[in-house]
Structure 1
Amino acid sequence: METKHGFIKMTVSEFENWLLQTRVGRTILKIQQHHTFIPGYIHFNGSNHFERQLAMKNHHVNQNGWRDIGQHFTIFPDGTVMTGRSLEFSPACITNQNANAICIENLGNFDTGFDEMTTAQKEAIVAVTAALCKRFNLAVNTQTIVYHHWFRLDNGFRNNGTGNNKSCPGTNFFGGNKEQDCITHFLPLVQAKLSGVVLKTNDDAILKYVVVTATTLNIRVQPNAASTKATNRAAATLGAILRVYAEQEGWYKISNSQSHWVAGRYTQDVKRATVKTDALNVRSGAGTTFPKVDKLAKGEEVFIIKEVNNWCQISMEERWVSKEFLSF
């Protein structure tokens, strides 16, 4: 394990241990798979991991105007894993699809006829995806593991690649970039890697969910403002969905295993729900007169911030769905 430029370079086994020790307040519902396209294999010499990661960060910050590098992790051709932006921040990778997500950028151009993925990188991608599913209790399916290709470039609508889509993570990524390719070629490898690992099927210990309403929210080791800040995790950020395991005098315990608390006055209660219809329109206001801005597939999970006349706001922006088509 090596640290440079604010990034950590790890082997897969080091990553798995690091992930188990890393505290994450933000609730994770999905894992995004991408390829970098540029840089590709021709730009990687086997020892310039940090230089390539720093170059991507500089491009994302200086050219795109983002706050940091877009992805949480980069996986290199030699199977090395490198951290990117903090897990407490949503990625900047798929339009309107970044909330509650983790982004993996796989270095290379995996469109047919370009980079042929190495065995080491294949094994690392599968292992990292499986470790994230285990860590965040995610079932292995195409709602929790998603490809950039499935979402329109302009508005993030999920159309599974039928028009105005990037090829990312590549037309030859584990046999193809379509949803059926993922089901046939990629998900079985992740499931096999998890063989013998029992994912939790419920969250009985969770008292409720809340959304952070402050720009940053300190996490303290006791339920009072005079206690010290937790040293092994970052502050929570605006819009993050936190799990609450206990409540004491206006303070919320956000870890089931450690004494980590946040002030409840800087949060708002939310409800977790699942889409129960095949396709659910997301609108820019609470009613059918408002334009469609997105579409959700059956089984997708959302958090409800506000309810108005049987319409539910599912983000801090104006994104609304009909309550009739949700299961709570």
Structure 2
Amino acid sequence: MESKYGFLKMNLGEFENWVNSQRIARTILHVQQHHTWVPNYSHFNGSNHFERQLAMKNHHVGANGWSDIGQHFTIFPDGQIVTGRSLEATPACIYGNNQHSICFEHLGNFDVGGDQMTAAQRQAIIKTTALICQKFNLPVNPNSIVYHHWFELGTGRRNDGSGNNKSCPGNNFFGGNKVQDFNQNFAPLIQEELGGSPLPLVPPSLRYAVVTANRLNVRVGPSGSESKASDRAPVERGAVLRIYDEKNNWLKISKSQSHWVYSRYTLEVKRATVNATVLRVRSGPGTSYSIVGNLPKSEEVFIAGESNGWCKLALEEKWLSKQYLDFVN
């Protein structure tokens, strides 16, 4: 494992140990798959991992105006994995659809006629995706593992690649970038890596809260006088936390560790699943409000409030019809 410019570079074995040791407060529901397109294989010389990652960060911050590099990880042609932004931070990779996500960028151009993916990078993509699914109990399906191509570029609406969409992660990425390509080619490889068995279900009795402060410190006990947890970064606004206990207005956010946050800076939310084939997302609680997106069947959401049969998504001004939601508890 090497470190430079604030990034870590790891091989697959190192990544597995590292990611399993990470304590992440925010709830993860999605793994995003992207290709960089540029830079591609012609820009990689076998030893410039850190320089390429820094160049991407400089572009994302300087040209795009983002606070940091967009992705959490970049996977290089030699199978090495380089870290990006903090895992507690929402990525900046799919417009309007970054919440609750982990983002992978795969260095290369995986459109037809572009780079021929190496065996090392292919194995790293499969293994790292499986490890994230395993860590966060994500089912292997096109709601949990998503391609950038499935979302309209300008609006962020999911249309499964039928409109004005980027080809990302490439129309030759594991045999194609359509949902059917994912189901036929990529999903079986992830499932095989996981041993073919379904992952444990999240307990339906679990409570959730969304962070309303810009950054919320995690402490080792239910009091402001307790020290900050040394192995956790502060939690950022909009993160949805799992609640395992509550004491004196403090919320325990770890099942195995004494890690607590002050409830004053959170808002309790309910977890729900979309039961419609496609559910329209509106800008207000009613059909007279404009459509700002759509959600596929089985997509999971967090609801912060209700009004006249409509449900509000966490801290966003986005609303869903309650009749098309199944609440977990």
Q: TM above 0.5, one fold?
A: yes
1:220–1:260 Cα contact (<8 Å) kept? yes
Deviation string for 1:65-110 (max 9, x for gaps)?
Answer: 0000000000000000111000111100001100001110000000
The Cα shift of 1:196 comes to: 6.0
Of the structure 1 ranges 187-196 and 124-133, higher mean CA displacement relative to structure 2 is found in 187-196
* Equivalent position amino acid for 1:199 in 2: L
Alignment correspondent of 2:136: 136
Paired with 1:44 and 1:315, the residues of 2 have a C-alpha distance of 41
* Equivalent position amino acid for 1:121 in 2: Q
Paired with 1:84 and 1:104, the residues of 2 have a C-alpha distance of 9
The Cα shift of 1:285 comes to: 0.5
* Equivalent position amino acid for 1:325 in 2: Y
* Equivalent position amino acid for 2:10 in 1: M
Alignment correspondent of 2:249: 250
* Equivalent position amino acid for 1:69 in 2: I
1:275–1:326 Cα contact (<8 Å) kept? yes
Alignment correspondent of 1:16: 16
The Cα shift of 1:50 comes to: 0.2
1:212–1:240 Cα contact (<8 Å) kept? yes
1:205–1:256 Cα contact (<8 Å) kept? no
Matches within 5 A, 1:118-197: 118-195=118-195
2:214–2:236 Cα contact (<8 Å) kept? yes
Alignment correspondent of 1:36: 36
Alignment correspondent of 1:265: 264
2:139–2:198 Cα contact (<8 Å) kept? no
2:191–2:197 Cα contact (<8 Å) kept? no
Does 2:101 align with 1:101?
Answer: yes
Does 2:230 align with 1:234?
Answer: no
Alignment correspondent of 1:323: 322
2:210–2:314 Cα contact (<8 Å) kept? no
Alignment correspondent of 1:74: 74
2:208–2:240 Cα contact (<8 Å) kept? yes
Paired with 1:233 and 1:117, the residues of 2 have a C-alpha distance of 35
Paired with 2:205 and 2:20, the residues of 1 have a C-alpha distance of 19
Deviation string for 1:200-250 (max 9, x for gaps)?
Answer: 1132573x1000011110000010000100010100111100000000110
Deviation string for 1:27-65 (max 9, x for gaps)?
Answer: 000100000000000000000000000000000000000
Alignment correspondent of 2:111: 111
2:278–2:296 Cα contact (<8 Å) kept? yes
The Cα shift of 1:13 comes to: 1.0
* Equivalent position amino acid for 1:252 in 2: L
What 5-or-longer segments of structure 2 have no aligned partner? none
The Cα shift of 1:318 comes to: 1.2
* Equivalent position amino acid for 2:221 in 1: Q
Paired with 1:16 and 1:161, the residues of 2 have a C-alpha distance of 32
Paired with 1:221 and 1:200, the residues of 2 have a C-alpha distance of 27
Paired with 2:119 and 2:70, the residues of 1 have a C-alpha distance of 25
Pairs aligned (count): 327
Does 2:231 align with 1:218?
Answer: no
Alignment correspondent of 1:49: 49
1:305 aligned counterpart, secondary structure: strand
Compute the RMSD of aligned alpha carbons: 0.9
The Cα shift of 1:315 comes to: 3.5
The Cα shift of 1:305 comes to: 1.1
Taking structure 2 as the reference length, the TM-score comes to 0.98
2:137–2:202 Cα contact (<8 Å) kept? no
Alignment correspondent of 1:297: 296
Paired with 2:201 and 2:244, the residues of 1 have a C-alpha distance of 17
* Equivalent position amino acid for 1:312 in 2: C
